[in-house]
Amino acid sequence: MALFHAEIPRVAYFAKSSLVLRIDYLSFDKTWTVHHLSEHISSTPYRQIVEIIPSPLSLSGGLLHPYDTLITRDILASKYHLDRYKDWIVVFAYSSTLESILIFDNIDSHNQVLIFGSEKEFAQDNIIQMPWVDIATWHALVDESRWTLVRGEVSAVASIMRDKLAFWDTYKMIG
């Protein structure tokens, strides 16, 4: 398996004929997803390379539905000192987005913004600096959120499959 544009080893790397599944980045581009299950340009009879393109679009590799957790809103509120009666907005963005693009000046009092992965201090009471959490807790927080702003493939797919994705802070290095 070759993930996310990893370099594909030379034919000499393989002991005998091989099948390489080249799993690409999440895509919403119909002109690209039509290549799902096509052979890569460098495919050979001894090293067949097949493109797998994950996407919610038809004729693509699809998306795996994330598992359900048994972590309730009450458990999350108690463990992380959150107000269970407010709407939670999960924000997991790149530092550059948090520091120079997002503005948190006028957060309604009925919302709590849960920010992950930032060392920036926020003055408002309804902005909560969250610690890193395990994947089950992350999924439960996404389940219980009103909407999310996330980065990365796993977080974006979990949010899409849970009908919670509002914004995706996509990879900065590939545009």
Instruction: Tell me: do 43 and 78 sit in the same domain.
Output: no
| 82 shares its domain with 130 | yes
Q: Residue 164: give the domain boundaries.
A: 73-169
Is 58 part of a structural domain of the chain? no
- Lowest mean pLDDT segment, chosen from 7-11, 128-132, 134-138: 7-11
Residues 35-88 have pLDDT tens digits of: 999 998 888 888 888 999 999 999 999 988 777 789 999 999 999 999 999 999
Residues 160 and 93 both lie in one domain: yes
Query: Residue 3 — very low, low, confident or very high, per pLDDT cuts 50/70/90?
Result: confident
Pairwise pLDDT comparison (2 vs 82), residue with the higher score:
82
Same domain assignment for residues 83 and 147? yes
Q: What is the pTM of this model?
A: 0.75
Percentage of the chain beyond pLDDT 70 is 97
Residue 121 lies in a domain: yes
For the chain, give percent helix, strand, coil, nearest 5. 25, 25, 55
Q: What pLDDT is attached to residue 174? A: 57
Same domain, 43 and 106: no
In a domain, 60, yes or no: no
Beta bridge partners of 49: 20
What's the structural domain count of the chain? 2
- Select the more confidently predicted residue: 65 or 159: 159
pLDDT at 117: 80
134 pLDDT tier (thresholds 50, 70, 90): very high
Predicted local confidence at residue 145, as pLDDT: 94
In a domain, 63, yes or no: no
Q: Report whether 42 contacts 29 (CB < 8 A).
A: no
- Looking at the fold, whether 134 and 81 belong to one and the same domain comes out as yes
35 in a structural domain: yes
Q: What tokens were used for 64?
A: 């795996």
More confident residue, 5 or 139: 139
Same domain, 150 and 116: yes
User: Residue 99: CA atoms inside 13 Å, Cβ hemisphere, count?
Assistant: 7
Q: What is the DSSP letter of 39?
A: B
- Whether 87 maps to a domain, the answer reads yes
Q: Whole-number mean pLDDT of the chain?
A: 86
Task: Clarify whether residues 88 and 165 are in a common domain.
Answer: yes
Q: Are residues 47 and 104 in the same domain?
A: no
What pLDDT does residue 130 have? 93
Q: Are residues 91 and 164 in the same domain?
A: yes
Query: Which pLDDT score is estimated for 175?
Result: 45
Q: Which amino acid is at 65?
A: H
